Amino acid sequence: MKRAGAFAVLALVALGCIGCDKTAAVETALGVVGNVITLAQDDLPALQVAGVLTAGDVIAAGNWLSGASTINGQGETCVNMAGGTGTKIVACLNAIGTGLLSPAEQANLRIISQGAQKKVTLYVTAVVLAVNFTASIVKATQITPPAVGAAPTAGAQPTRDDLHEIATRLHLSPAYGF
C-alpha cells in the first residue's frame, strides 16, 4: 500500500513538471551558444595571422558566425516573448536550427579552403552542439552540423579533444554536450 502511494506521489510530481517553465534554462543555454560564437569570431584574426585561414576563409566563416549570432539573438528574443509556453519555446529553437541550416547560411561555408576546413568545422560543430543541447531542454529538433567546404575532406571532423578545448576555454561543464 505504501509503495502504491509512493508511486502515485511520484506520478503527480512528474505530471506537475510537464508544464514547468524551462525558459531560464533555455536562456542560459542560448547564452552558451552566443559565447561559442563569440569565441570563434574572436579567434578568426589570429588564425589568419597564423596562416591557418586565408582572408577569404575569415570572411566566409565570419559571415556564417555573424549569421549564427543574429539567428541566436532572434531565438533569444523569441524565447523571452514565449511566456514560458513549451510549444512556443520549441518553435523558437526549431527556428534557430532551420536558420543555421538555411541555404543562405550554408553558402558561407562552401568557399572555405581545404586547409581551413578542420578549424572552421570545429567552430561550426561547437555552435551546433550548443544549439542541440539547448534544443534538448525542451525536446526541440536536433540538427546535424552542415558540411564545410565545397568538397569536404574526410579528416575535417573535430575530435572530442578539439571540442573539449573549446569547452574548457568557455569554462563549460561536459553536460553541455562537449
Nearest alpha-carbon partner for 43 in 144, 122, 111: 122
> Would you list the domain boundaries of the chain?
21-176
pLDDT in tens, 93-144: 999 999 999 999 999 998 888 889 999 999 999 999 999 999 999 999 999 9
Residue 123 has what pLDDT?
A: 94
- Supply the pTM of this predicted model: 0.83
Residue 55 has what pLDDT?
A: 95
Positions of the chain with pLDDT lower than 50, given as ranges:
1-19, 178
Residue 47 has what pLDDT?
A: 95
Q: How many residues are recorded in the chain?
A: 178
The C-alpha cell that represents 57 in the structure block: 576563409
